């Protein structure tokens, strides 16, 4: 990839952070009240992990 290990780690960290932000915004668009975002994220995580 023509980059150092450190630079690659930083790039991955930034991509994951940006993905989290975009994901939260998408969830916020699907709930009626912005206060429901956290509970919706917990519900989704539980559904995906089978808990």
Average pLDDT in the 8-37 region? 96
Helix axes 5-30, 37-49, angle to 10 degrees: 110
End-to-end CA gap in the chain: 38
Total-model pTM: 0.75
C-alpha dihedral sign at 39, 40, 41, 43: positive
pLDDT band of 1, cuts 50, 70, 90: confident
Which residues have C-beta within 8 Å of that of residue 30, sequence separation ≥ 6? 40
pLDDT digits (tens, 9 = 90+) for 29-44: 999 998 999 999 999 9
11, 37, 9: which is closest to 23 by C-alpha? 37
Q: Assign 37 to helix, strand or coil.
A: helix
Return the pLDDT at 36.
95
């Amino acid at each position: 990839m023509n980059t150092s290990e450190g630079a690659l780690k930083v790039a991955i960290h930034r991509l994951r952070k940006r993905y989290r932000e975009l994901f939260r915004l998408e969830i916020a668009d699907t709930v009626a009240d912005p206060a429901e975002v956290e509970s919706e994220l917990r519900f989704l995580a539980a559904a995906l992990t089978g808990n």
